Amino acid sequence: MCRWLAYTGEPLQPSTLILDAQQSLVKQSLNSQLGAETVNGDGFGLGWYPANEAAGGIPALFHSTEPAWNDENLRELAHAIESPLFFSHVRAAAGPPIQQTNCHPFRYQNWMFMHNGFLGDFLTMKRDLVLAVDPSLYPDIKGTTDSEVVFHLALTYGLMDDPIEAMRQAVRKVESVGHGLGVRFPMQGTIAISDGATIWTFRYSSQGRSRSLFHSVEIDTLREMYPEVERLNLFGRRARVVVSEPLNDLPGAFLEVPESTVAILHESGYQYEPFLEAA
Amino acid sequence: MCRWLAYTGEPLQPSTLILDAQQSLVKQSLNSQLGAETVNGDGFGLGWYPANEAAGGIPALFHSTEPAWNDENLRELAHAIESPLFFSHVRAAAGPPIQQTNCHPFRYQNWMFMHNGFLGDFLTMKRDLVLAVDPSLYPDIKGTTDSEVVFHLALTYGLMDDPIEAMRQAVRKVESVGHGLGVRFPMQGTIAISDGATIWTFRYSSQGRSRSLFHSVEIDTLREMYPEVERLNLFGRRARVVVSEPLNDLPGAFLEVPESTVAILHESGYQYEPFLEAA
Amino acid sequence: MCRWLAYTGEPLQPSTLILDAQQSLVKQSLNSQLGAETVNGDGFGLGWYPANEAAGGIPALFHSTEPAWNDENLRELAHAIESPLFFSHVRAAAGPPIQQTNCHPFRYQNWMFMHNGFLGDFLTMKRDLVLAVDPSLYPDIKGTTDSEVVFHLALTYGLMDDPIEAMRQAVRKVESVGHGLGVRFPMQGTIAISDGATIWTFRYSSQGRSRSLFHSVEIDTLREMYPEVERLNLFGRRARVVVSEPLNDLPGAFLEVPESTVAILHESGYQYEPFLEAA
Amino acid sequence: MCRWLAYTGEPLQPSTLILDAQQSLVKQSLNSQLGAETVNGDGFGLGWYPANEAAGGIPALFHSTEPAWNDENLRELAHAIESPLFFSHVRAAAGPPIQQTNCHPFRYQNWMFMHNGFLGDFLTMKRDLVLAVDPSLYPDIKGTTDSEVVFHLALTYGLMDDPIEAMRQAVRKVESVGHGLGVRFPMQGTIAISDGATIWTFRYSSQGRSRSLFHSVEIDTLREMYPEVERLNLFGRRARVVVSEPLNDLPGAFLEVPESTVAILHESGYQYEPFLEAA
């Protein structure tokens, strides 16, 4: 129901990927090629770990309910800042209203979270899922999306200690609550999580037919493949991006993340881990 | 934390009271005389029972996050419609974010609800109160205000059958949950409720020092008192209004609703009932 | 660059056409079939002559910068009112910013105006066109669109006395200014104008390849053609609509307005007049 | 009709002045002490020269139509960035609508401009003033404020070569046009202009009773005066601010800029020049 992008590497202007790329995230907002919806115009978000040390490792958020494609503030901001790790998200609402508190990414302390997809029959499951959130975390839920509830379930299950295992438990909880209430496919989507150093991205759905997800190949490889593409010089050697659909049509530039898999971006490269078997 | 106004009587353009009156609700939004805050600029709402029969007795809502004082759409709408019963509310947010789903009035079927005031230490009480809402009503909570939770508590306790008793139970629940969690004064405020025919207005606070509330005197009486005031000819004989602070400075035009009291507006006039003793 | 709809006939809830029709205007906003753009998500407007006599024949306007497809206020309003003559417009911005003052329809006294299309190289022509607007009308230009300038040119040339001749002069002025500045195709689009009783709709472009425009056939004819379509009973016998693209796929329900033509909707039916030969 | 603040010095988080100061700009938006209006809730703006060299000396702008006091994006941004020179402005609209294109500061290439005050009877003067703008600059006028017209007049008269003399000519033009049209006091206000290195601030009104304007004293002096005020350690030795009203109540911390004066902030300190005699 959305499209998203996560970048890590040398400090970069977000505009390079979300505005200027051939099939940039903002172009995906108006005309997605691989998304469940063509138009993702129900608000957007940008979350970035500032270079600014005064920020203390806490990511900054910019949320807007406007479509991304004509938003002047996004244009300004995406050029004015540089960040070594940022998330960006364009939304196609699947029920919860269009308001800033429903815009991704969400934040908890130094952690960010965003999601493309949905919980099946969320209003049926919502109360039980919210009850499973740790009472001390409950007041931190600011909006009304299924995604933010999943984030708080994962926090409840220890996201800050072991993000992959916490996400497994969160998804299993969604599926057990859903199946108990007669929801056939409770979980759908791709998710990105970061603590400011590592990015964990998940591709999973109860149905085994998950939303699309890709990651870039190593920039050195890409430069060898396409020595004539000058645009590649904009990126440092550690630049890596995970994104809902490829940012350009260069064959081989983006690889699909397999189903039921976690793709982890470290400073040293990508790494896959199996996530869960589809329910 | 807010100001509100409820009208019943002959069909009237809402602009008469919310824009054109000497101390209209929109003027109260920019410069309240009796409010806890001077400025009530965090959005507004207008809810009205349309003359239009096609609407089937369901009130229509217009919610905006803009300050009321310069909102063009409010100006247009408040002149273009006429309604025999409408609510209007200007908000000064006390925590929950500025978004349309947090704007009053709230609606459930043919019922409307609005509130000026707050629940003490709401984030502490929120989870317990939300759990007390009937699970079948839970998915209907669209925003994140304390006010909407009180509305759904009252719906849980039978608002549609006996609004006064249901509100008593809702307030007692707020107070018992609050006192259990160490909140000294859990409930504060004035509340208006309607089913499209009658308006019930409540003035109550746990502290016994409630937000201000007034109602107009009978229009015939007022015309006798002020035969020279031409503006009074705008109103029919059944025109009655309850409002957070008087809409003009005509002595005797508005009477204060006593503490811990329900003021009921029927077609035939006002009626008081005791509500609750302050906790 | 936009899609629009103009209705006249028995008082009707605008929702019938802009929300509920098979290919309603709001569906056209998200997925236009015949438009120059697929997405028309850069705000919308609704202008209606209220049944309310207190409004004095002045149309009311509701303008929003949000996409129409998820706007709650539009849903509420379009159900709550009934009007014998209304305009609605969804915008795909072609340069001028997304702001309420750039939303159609525009209003001058009891007149409304809306436009789908654009002036070629508008920023080049703008100063000369604005200078041609009567100085007494100049302060009434509230936004920054090409469309509003065309409206004020037509007002300058006597729109309120002879709308067709005034529009001819306005378009000729646009073309003479444009050609003088090297703009090949200065005028493009379809335009609707009303005084509250008659609707004039224009289809014209300098290039002779104008944006699409259709009008409904007489409702009696339609009921004979499709006796089994219950939805047709929602409409009175005088119901007529002009719209950028057909509101349903019933063959024969909508007829294309020819190029360079004015289609006039009276209470008694449609009438065509030639407009201008393409420049 | 507004309040503004201009900072130059060591790179600083704008939040230090616009959010955290005792009488910060955001506090002035809700409750101005010295302003012509108490409430400045009709949008705001932040313009900053990014540390980011990729920005090429062009300031970035963030404009919002929301009141500043509850805007989450402003809070995020004002903490996340650091800038050696920034402008911030809170607006109380005096006619022109609430839209992002009417939010200050305005920008032209590497120049920023903001204004507190108004042009007397602007709609009467507007056409003549706009005609005096160089036709090549005319298309750059994006909004509908008097302030942006003054900026473009000054650009027409050579702002980028000699800002003080260009502003003199712009104000004289406003006054001659105004007097020709019977406007008694055409010009009112305080203005800030920067090229990214120097800030020029102007205090002037035709009436000789101009909006308030203050500048900070040297930080070394302030630290000697108030060695116990720890907050002063947040600032570098070159930190200087010009602001509509003092940011705190420390006696001697802020000095009033005299009437009809230009206060210039260099890296080396303040400097005054006479501007114009009141007309």
pLDDT in tens, B167-176: 999 999 999 9
pLDDT of residue C54: 66
Q: Are D90 and D98 in contact (CB under 8 A)?
A: no
Q: Are C264 and C270 in contact (CB under 8 A)?
A: yes
> Which of C268, C263, C218 is closest to C242 using CA atoms?
C263
> Which of C138, C43, B91, B128 is closest to D131 using CA atoms?
C138
Pairing assessment for the beta strands C2-12 and C83-91 based on DSSP bridges: antiparallel
pLDDT in tens, B86-123: 999 999 988 899 999 999 999 999 999 999 999 999 99
CA-CA distance, D269 to D263, in Å (whole number)?
10
* pLDDT over 80 at A279, yes or no: no
Residues of A in contact with B97 (CB under 8 A): 99-101, 142
| A15–chain C nearest CA distance, Å | 20
pLDDT of residue D152: 98
| D174–chain A nearest CA distance, Å | 31
CA-CA distance, B264 to B250, in Å (whole number)?
23
Q: Which of B30, B72, B93 sits opposite D70 (nearest CB)?
A: B93
Q: Are B194 and B110 in contact (CB under 8 A)?
A: no
Asked if the C-beta of C31 comes within 8 angstroms of chain A's C-beta atoms, the answer is: yes
Answer yes or no: do B41 and D39 touch at CB < 8 A.
yes
Q: Which of D48, D61, D80 sits opposite A52 (nearest CB)?
A: D80
The percentage of chain D sitting over the pLDDT mark of 70, rounded to a whole number, equals 97
pLDDT in tens, D259-275: 999 999 988 889 999 99
**Residue contacts between A and C (CB atoms, under 8 Å):** 33
| Dihedrals phi, psi of C115, to nearest 5 degrees | -150, 135
In this prediction, residues B65-88 reach a mean pLDDT of 95
- Residue labelled with tokens 């690889």: A255
> Which of A275, A92, A269 is closest to A191 using CA atoms?
A275
Domain ranges of chain B: 2-274
Interface test with A, best of D61, D76, D142 (most A CBs within 10 A): D76
Q: Are C242 and C263 in contact (CB under 8 A)?
A: yes
Q: Which residues pair with B62 in a beta bridge?
A: B46
Please list, in sequence order, all residues whose beta carbon lies within 8 angstroms of the beta carbon of residue C38, skipping any fewer than 6 positions away: A31, A38, C31, C32
B248-270 burial, b at 16+ Cβ within 10 Å, e below that, comes to: eebeebbeebeebbbbbbeeeeb
CA-CA distance, A154 to A132, in Å (whole number)?
10
Assigned architecture for domain C2-274: 4-Layer Sandwich (3.60)
Residues of C in contact with A33 (CB under 8 A): none
Residues of C in contact with A66 (CB under 8 A): 65-66, 98
Residues of B in contact with C80 (CB under 8 A): 48, 50, 52, 55, 60, 81
pLDDT in tens, A124-163: 999 999 999 999 999 999 999 999 999 999 999 999 999 9
Q: Are D5 and D25 in contact (CB under 8 A)?
A: yes
Can you give B12-33 as a three-state secondary structure string? ECCHHHHCCCCCCHHHHHHCCC
CA-CA distance, D91 to C79, in Å (whole number)?
35
Is 0.90 surpassed by the pTM of this model?
yes
pLDDT in tens, B191-243: 999 999 999 999 999 999 999 999 999 999 999 999 999 999 999 999 999 99
A174-195 burial, b at 16+ Cβ within 10 Å, e below that, comes to: bbebbeeeebebbbbbbbbbbb
Pairing assessment for the beta strands A83-91 and A2-12 based on DSSP bridges: antiparallel
Q: Are A72 and D63 in contact (CB under 8 A)?
A: yes
The rounded Cα D235 to chain-centroid distance in angstroms is 21
In this prediction, residues D42-61 reach a mean pLDDT of 88
Indicate the SS3 state at residue C69: helix
Interface test with B, best of D76, D98, D99 (most B CBs within 10 A): D98
In Å, how far are C111, D70, D206 from B117, measured between CA atoms? Answer: 44, 18, 46
Interface test with C, best of D129, D144, D149 (most C CBs within 10 A): D144
Which chain D residue shows the shortest CA-CA distance from C65? D99
Token digits of residue C44? 């919308």
Asked if the C-beta of A260 comes within 8 angstroms of chain B's C-beta atoms, the answer is: no
Given phi > 0 = left and psi -120 to 50 = alpha, else beta, which region is D243? beta
pLDDT of residue D279: 61
pLDDT in tens, B19-44: 999 999 999 999 888 888 889 999 99
| B103–chain A nearest CA distance, Å | 12
The beta strand positions in D29-120, using DSSP E, are 44-48, 60-64, 83-91, 106-108, 111-119
Asked if the C-beta of A95 comes within 8 angstroms of chain C's C-beta atoms, the answer is: no
Asked if the C-beta of B76 comes within 8 angstroms of chain C's C-beta atoms, the answer is: yes
* pLDDT over 70 at A54, yes or no: no
Residues of B in contact with D41 (CB under 8 A): 39, 41, 67, 69
Token digits of residue B187? 């409930």
**pLDDT band with cut points at 50, 70 and 90 for residue A36:** confident
Asked if the C-beta of D160 comes within 8 angstroms of chain C's C-beta atoms, the answer is: no
pLDDT of residue A266: 86
Given phi > 0 = left and psi -120 to 50 = alpha, else beta, which region is D109? left
Indicate the SS3 state at residue A113: strand
pLDDT of residue D54: 66
CA-CA distance, D199 to D212, in Å (whole number)?
17
Q: Any idea what DSSP says for residue D251? A: T
Token digits of residue C98? 């997304």
More confident of the two residues C128 and C1: C128
**pLDDT band with cut points at 50, 70 and 90 for residue D278:** low
Answer yes or no: do A50 and D81 touch at CB < 8 A.
yes
Q: Which residues pair with C4 in a beta bridge?
A: C89
CA-CA distance, B35 to D40, in Å (whole number)?
19
Find chains touching chain B: ≥3 CB pairs under 8 Å: A, C, D
Given phi > 0 = left and psi -120 to 50 = alpha, else beta, which region is B269? left
pLDDT of residue D1: 63
CA-CA distance, C147 to A104, in Å (whole number)?
36
Q: In what helix (H) or strand (E) does residue A91 lie, and over which residues does it extend?
A: strand A83-91
Lowest mean pLDDT among B47-51, B104-108, D136-140: B47-51
* pLDDT over 80 at C278, yes or no: no
CA-CA distance, C128 to C151, in Å (whole number)?
15
pLDDT of residue B62: 98
Can you give D175-220 as a three-state secondary structure string? HHHHHHCCCCCCEEEEEEEECCCCEEEEEEECCCCCCCCEEECCHH
Indicate the SS3 state at residue C63: strand
Answer yes or no: do A72 and C97 touch at CB < 8 A.
yes
Q: Which residues pair with A112 in a beta bridge?
A: A107, A194
- Complex ipTM: 0.94
pLDDT of residue A33: 87
**pLDDT band with cut points at 50, 70 and 90 for residue B259:** very high
CA-CA distance, B222 to B244, in Å (whole number)?
19
In this prediction, residues B240-247 reach a mean pLDDT of 96
Which chain A residue shows the shortest CA-CA distance from D14? A54
**pLDDT band with cut points at 50, 70 and 90 for residue B140:** very high
Tell whether the torsion through CA atoms of A226, A229, A233 and A235 is positive or negative. negative
Q: How is A175-233 classified by DSSP, letter by letter? A: HHHHHHTT-S--EEEEEEEESSS-EEEEEEETTS-PPP-EEEPPHHHHHHH-TT-GGGG
The percentage of chain C sitting over the pLDDT mark of 90, rounded to a whole number, equals 89
Can you give D99-138 as a three-state secondary structure string? CHHHCCCEEECCEEEEEEEEECCHHHHHHHHHHHCCCCCH
pLDDT in tens, D224-273: 999 999 999 999 999 999 999 999 999 999 999 999 999 999 888 899 99
Q: How is chain B classified by DSSP, letter by letter? A: -EEEEEEEEEEE-THHHHTSSTT-HHHHHHS-SSSSSS---S-EEEEE--S-GGGTTPPEEEEESS-GGG-HHHHHHHHH--EEEEEEEEE--SSS-S-GGGSSPEEETTEEEEEEEEETTHHHHHHHHHHHS-TTTGGG--S--HHHHHHHHHHHTTTTT-HHHHHHHHHHHHHHHHHHTT-S--EEEEEEEESSS-EEEEEEETTS-PPP-EEEPPHHHHHHH-TT-GGGGGS-TT-EEEESS-SS--TTSEEEPPTTEEEEEETTEEEEEE-----
Bond prior to D105 in cis (omega within 30° of 0): yes
* pLDDT over 90 at B56, yes or no: no
Asked if the C-beta of D64 comes within 8 angstroms of chain C's C-beta atoms, the answer is: no
CA-CA distance, C26 to C79, in Å (whole number)?
14
Asked if the C-beta of C138 comes within 8 angstroms of chain D's C-beta atoms, the answer is: yes
Answer yes or no: do C123 and D139 touch at CB < 8 A.
yes
CA-CA distance, C71 to A66, in Å (whole number)?
12
Q: Which residues pair with B20 in a beta bridge?
A: none
Q: What does the mean pLDDT of chain D come to?
A: 94
Q: Which residues pair with D276 in a beta bridge?
A: none
pLDDT in tens, D181-209: 999 999 999 999 999 999 999 999 999 99
pLDDT of residue D64: 96
CA-CA distance, B187 to B169, in Å (whole number)?
13
Answer yes or no: do D13 and A100 touch at CB < 8 A.
no
| C24–chain B nearest CA distance, Å | 19
Residues of C in contact with D143 (CB under 8 A): 144
More confident of the two residues B30 and A201: A201
Please list, in sequence order, all residues whose beta carbon lies within 8 angstroms of the beta carbon of residue B221, skipping any fewer than 6 positions away: none
CA-CA distance, A251 to A212, in Å (whole number)?
17
The rounded Cα B50 to chain-centroid distance in angstroms is 18
More confident of the two residues C268 and D108: D108
pLDDT in tens, C29-61: 998 888 888 899 999 999 999 876 666 789 999
Please list, in sequence order, all residues whose beta carbon lies within 8 angstroms of the beta carbon of residue B251, skipping any fewer than 6 positions away: none
* pLDDT over 80 at C64, yes or no: yes
Interface test with C, best of A39, A64, A73 (most C CBs within 10 A): A39
